[in-house]
Chain A
Amino acid sequence: MSKFGLITKGLLKENPTFVLVLGMCPTLATTTSAMNGLEMGLATMFVLILSNIVISLIAPVVPDKVHIPVYIVVIATFVTVLQLLMQAFVPQVYETLGLFIPLIVVNCIVLGRAEAFACKNSVGDSALDGIGIGLGFTLSLTVIGIVREILGSGSLFGWKFIPGDGILAFVMAPGAFLVLGYLMVLFNKLAKR
């Protein structure tokens, strides 16, 4: 597969949210606004790229029996590093995303890419795969966030252009499911063409 293809497949053919349907927990919970979705996506992408690089490096020497624990330790380390860095330098973002940052450890996208890609490919390819899937996740979350924010709060990236309250349901859990479902249909319909 070409280097460019490694990145674009994360956006379209193997889009983690709309095609693989992985990582639904942060997808539904953090996309109350476009900014939250974007921040969550970037945080996951950070962990995904670094864990893909390290796992592709150590995979040849890790015995098969303990490969899952080793991967989890590596992923958890990067998540904790991210958590400390965010707490120190972007405390506001850390506060909004809160619990969902430590939960990246069990995000199946990260372990999924480690198992399905990073452990059998070169460092360079794994990094590109991390970037591709990470971008796909970030874009999907941002799009869901944009739709929910426009419908639910009448604003976009915090810029309010419809006065009043908006349709509250879209900021809450039911709206998350609705928007995700409709966007998934739309995405797959367009991607099939």
Chain B
Amino acid sequence: MALSLTLVCLVCSAVLGVVYAVTSDPIKAAEIAKTNASIARVLPEFDAQPVAESIEVGGSVYNYYRVPETGYAIISTVSGFGGPLSVMVGIGDDGLVCNTVVLSHSETPGLGAKCQTDEAFLGQFKGWDPAAKKLAVTKDGGDVDAITASTITSRAYSAAIANAYNVYLKLRGNE
């Protein structure tokens, strides 16, 4: 009885070991491709392989990618309406937000989840100058036009960009 169970477990773990060995490289490649695709979306064209680094700002650790001569792609995670909302924010060396892209979210489908696709909402951040315009929804006295019926998500999204900008300021200060 114990023998047959042990045998089954041994065979199964051997199978898993083989599959893991075969797939681990493609999985890594897929992850790198995904990160690079996100960086390419938030920053202007680049050729060098960006290096992952991290920095602590205000008690939280932020991962970011430095693209030399171009800017930073900063990963900023805040709590959204349904859970963590992770946004990659590209900030150029001129201090302007270049573009933003959602990495992962658990917002309501059809409402907050529109923060991934709503061009009217996302478009306003392209070329945004955080030094001049306030990163908060209009309801809170800021300059961000919220997604209809998704104020909390829009608020979180704005906060994510504002946090990323603080990280950027600190990174520039260190340089």
Q: Which residues from chain A sit less than 8 Å from chain B, CB to CB?
A: 32, 58, 61-63, 65-66, 69-70, 73-74, 76-77, 80-81, 84-85, 87-89, 91, 152-153, 165-166, 168, 171-172
Contact = CB atoms under 8 A, between A and B. Distances in A.
Interface string B108-136: 11110000000000000000000000000
A74 B110 contact: no
A172 B5 contact: no
Contacts of A77: 12, 15-16
A32 B4 contact: no
A58 B27 CA distance: 32
B1 interface: yes
Contacts of A73: 5, 8-9, 12
Contacts, number: 62
B174 interface: no
Contacts of B2: 66
B30 A91 contact: yes
Count chain A CB atoms within 10 A of each CB in B9, B108, B110 and give the residue with the most.
B110
B148 to A, nearest CB: 9
27 contacts: A32-B109, A63-B4, A66-B1, A66-B5, A69-B5, A70-B5, A70-B8, A73-B8, A74-B12, A76-B12, A77-B12, A77-B16, A84-B20, A84-B23, A87-B23, A89-B26, A91-B34, A152-B109, A152-B110, A153-B110, A165-B110, A168-B109, A168-B110, A171-B109, A171-B110, A172-B108, A172-B110
Contacts of B30: 87-89, 91
B19 interface: yes
Secondary structure of the B contact surface, majority rule? helix
Interface residues of B, number: 21
A88 B23 contact: yes
Contact of B8 (A74, A152, A166, A171): A74
A87 B8 contact: no
Count chain B CB atoms within 10 A of each CB in A81, A89, A153, A172 and give the residue with the most.
A81
Contacts of A84: 19-20, 23, 27
A172 B9 CA distance: 40
A62 B4 contact: yes
